[in-house]
């Protein structure tokens, strides 16, 4: 695991300390990790959307496609509910 040290001006340090207290994080390190994870979670869908927008168009989908999709979702729900 790599280590990274950062310097913050006092106002930012106070903000981080306040967020740690309000969010129930144990340490400022946990708070920063949470922020980084949230940033990653936001970037993933954006990247997928951009990749899709740059891809070649496919054939149009219709009623058959959506009916099949609904069936797969229902089947997955039944399988997940049984666990």
Backbone angles phi, psi at 56, to 5 degrees: -70, 145
53-64 per-position pLDDT tens digit = 999 998 888 999
Question: Residue 17 and residue 21: Cα distance in Å, rounded?
Answer: 6
Q: Quickly state the pLDDT bin for 83 (edges 50, 70, 90).
A: very low
Which value, in Å, is the radius of gyration of the alpha carbons in the chain? 22
Q: Quickly state the pLDDT bin for 1 (edges 50, 70, 90).
A: confident
Question: Residue 41 and residue 38: Cα distance in Å, rounded?
Answer: 5
């Amino acid at each position: 695991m790599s280590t990274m040290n950062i310097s913050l001006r006092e106002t930012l340090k106070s903000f981080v300390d306040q967020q740690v207290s309000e969010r129930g994080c144990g340490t400022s390190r946990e708070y920063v990790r949470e922020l980084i994870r949230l940033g990653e979670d936001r970037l993933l869908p954006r990247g997928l959307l951009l990749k899709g927008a740059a891809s070649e168009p496919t054939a149009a989908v219709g009623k058959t496609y959506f009916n099949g999709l609904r069936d797969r979702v229902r089947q997955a729900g039944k399988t997940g509910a049984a666990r």
